[in-house]
A and B are shown apart, each in its own frame.
Chain A
Amino acid sequence: MNTDTKSGGAGGRTREVVLAAVRGFVLALAMLPVAVLVFTLAVVSIATIPIGIGIVTTPYVLGGVRDFADVRRRLAAEWCGVRIPSAYRPIPPDANPWARCFGMLRDPQVRRDLRWLLVDMTAGYLTALLPAVLLLYPFEGFAVAAGLWRVLADGQTYWYGFVPVTDQPTALGAGATAAVLLVAAYRLAPRLLLVHFRLTRAVLGADQGELAERVRVLTETRRDAVDTSAAELRRIERDLHDGAQARLVAMGMDLGTIELLLDKDPEQAKRLITQARRNSVEALEELRDLVRGIHPPVLAERGLGDAVRALALRLPLPVDVDVELTGRAEAPVESAGYFAVSEVLTNAVKHSGADRIWVDLHHADDMLRITVTDNGRGGAAIGAGSGLAGVERRLGTFDGVLAVSSPEGGPTMVTMEIPCALS
């Protein structure tokens, strides 16, 4: 008789039905006011963005919406085993309110959250309430059949569902309907709650295709990032080993010899001191170059804008640098941006034959845009040994992109975009 093989008999089934009804009931009663509240708050907050208040409040309200949605995601997994994937875009912890507000509003997952609130207040509410109604309503029917009809139908027609109750036989009809409903509840209640969560998943869940594509891109860029950083570490190790380290060894040896010669041959000792000093200067020089290659000091001290200005001052060509950045990006993004510009500039100096270069850095719509333009002969392409492919890979780690426009005869314009927030 029991079709559900998971629960251990009729008792288990009854428990399951009651549990589904209680859970649905609690869900409907507790969640509706919250859903209405957060939705209203969200609408009000977004509406006040033009006058400024919303910019500060919206991130908090949307955070609340997210928490509310997360509770439902958890319940869906615990109660019915329905997994609802979420795909919120990360917001940097130190982003300013402006970036935070619009970053969140642009997030498709946040938009899905808001759409879901509307559905949850209506269809979601009904589907959650249905198991409880289906389970409780039959008991009224039985009560009606047992004699309650005398009170309720006092001289007029009382409708139990679609059954008009006026006397005992019709009351018995209501009782029969109630019995049918109870059987239906017994069969359907747990599945109705499942319907509720499936509905939630349909509206709230992130698109699987979108997620799969994201995973593919992340896997690829992560591999690139690991490869690049491993290669970088190898290069640094080699440079230290052959450079500064070797020089320090030489200095140590010289100092030992000087100690020996100090009394016997002061002239020779003096010569060695000069040599040791030269070695120390050169070791410092090499360390300085190495540091510049790892993380340029100006970048650490001043950020991307001034680092690119300082870089431009080191080039043999006049470079016009135009910077419009209101804050600083995160260190890894700054570093990626810097080395990308550096590589593109080196390319332009080496291959383009240009006599003037323009660099433009600005940040808008959560996007760092860098363009490097030269008046050279053009013909640059990603690949073709230009190093631009490497830049493209590096930027990929940050979801950044690179585009090259370089018709034969010039000019060449390289555009890079990295999504990021400024602090």
Chain B
Amino acid sequence: MRVVLAEDLFLLRDGLVRMLEAYGFEIAAAVESGPELARALTELEPDVAVVDVRLPPTHTDEGLQCALRARQDRPGLPVLVLSQHVEQLYARELLADGSGGVGYLLKDRVFDAEQFVDAVRRVAAGGTAMDPQVIQQLLSRQAAGDRPLAQLTPRELEVMELMAQGRSNAAIAGQLVVTERAIAKHTSNIFAKLGLEVSDDDNRRVLAVLAYLDRER
């Protein structure tokens, strides 16, 4: 699997390259600025891009803008965005086109190599990887005064959080140490309670939940 990596801090870039290579990824390019990233994304056609939000030369959200533009040219281009801070505002922009293949994680998440690499693979396969903090923020915002959410049991809430992060039923079952069947039951309950249309497609399911959590009240 070919990866384009954009990160301006040498130590982090180097570390990420080594980690991804150790897990069998091929680094098509490891760049350190916005213009280089834009060129790499169009010329190298990677399977997935791992991009830092803040890049030179502007040191603003150049990386994010680059990723969003590249996804306009090539819808569904898998992009995993990394940042020192997560903002719902950015998550919303990444999810806006509804085509999946999007990840948005805190840089801290690379501490857990297994989970991080799992996120990269998921995004590359067209799935979603949302940072737990984004989901927490969405939940705490909706929790006050949202009746359907209040009807969820604590266990269902837990399952929904993990699902919104983009985990598959199997992964959720593994993490909560229950059977996949139990998780399937929880998810159908969740969808019934929130009044969402049930879908077999994992990613569509995630996007539906995220859209529900991020809707305007």
Contacts and interface: CB of A to CB of B under 8 A. Distances in A.
A301 B216 contact: no
A96 B16 CA distance: 42
A310 B87 CA distance: 7
B87 A313 contact: yes
B60 A302 contact: yes
B10 interface: no
Q: What range describes how many residues of B lie at the interface? A: 10 to 19
Interface of A: 277, 280-281, 284, 288, 291-292, 297-298, 300-302, 306, 309-310, 313-316, 318
B54 A301 contact: yes
22 contacts: A288-B84, A291-B85, A292-B85, A297-B83, A297-B84, A298-B85, A298-B87, A298-B89, A300-B60, A301-B54, A306-B89, A309-B89, A313-B87, A313-B88, A313-B89, A313-B137, A314-B88, A314-B141, A315-B141, A316-B140, A316-B144, A318-B216
A186 to B, nearest CB: 69
Interface string B87-131: 111000000000000000000100100000000000000000000
A300 B89 CA distance: 14
5 smallest A-B Cβ distances: which pairs? Answer: A301-B61, A313-B88, A310-B89, A301-B60, A310-B87
Given A288-B84, A313-B88, A318 B108 contact: no
Contacts of A318: 216-217
Contact of A297 (B85, B108, B111, B144): B85
B77 interface: no
B53 interface: yes
A313 B93 CA distance: 13
A232 B188 CA distance: 50
A277 B111 contact: yes
A292 B86 CA distance: 11
Contact of B111 (A281, A292, A302): A281
Contact of A310 (B59, B88, B140): B88
Contacts of A315: 141
B137 A314 contact: yes
Residue of B60, B87, B144, B217 contacting most chain A CB atoms (<10 Å): B87
A288 B85 CA distance: 7
B175 to A, nearest CB: 17
